[in-house]
Amino acid sequence: MPVIVNGAGGKGRNMVIRKGNKEYTITERRECWVLSCTIGGLSVEYKVPKDICNDEKELRAYVEAEELF
């Protein structure tokens, strides 16, 4: 299933990744990526360390590959 990314990304900018019927707002922080979404009325936040995904391209691939998302 393809992952769709909107936004220019970069430090201090938000971007959106869509996977299936979920939409994640991505915020880049110094040490991690923060993925936020709402699932069934509950706000969920995932933190992905930058040692796992150093840049946006790696983060997109990680979200696409992991069943957690």
pLDDT at 36 exceeding the cut of 80: yes
* Location of structure tokens 């995932």: 46
User: Does residue 12 surpass a pLDDT of 60?
Assistant: no
* pLDDT for position 1: 46
| pTM attached to this predicted model | 0.77
- State the pLDDT at residue 61: 96
> Is the pLDDT score of 45 beyond 90?
yes
CA distances in angstroms from 50 to 45, 53, 56, listed in the order given: 16, 5, 10
How far, in Å, are 37, 44, 67 from residue 41 at the CA level? 10, 9, 20
Amino acid at 18: R
The whole-number average pLDDT for the span 5-26 is 75
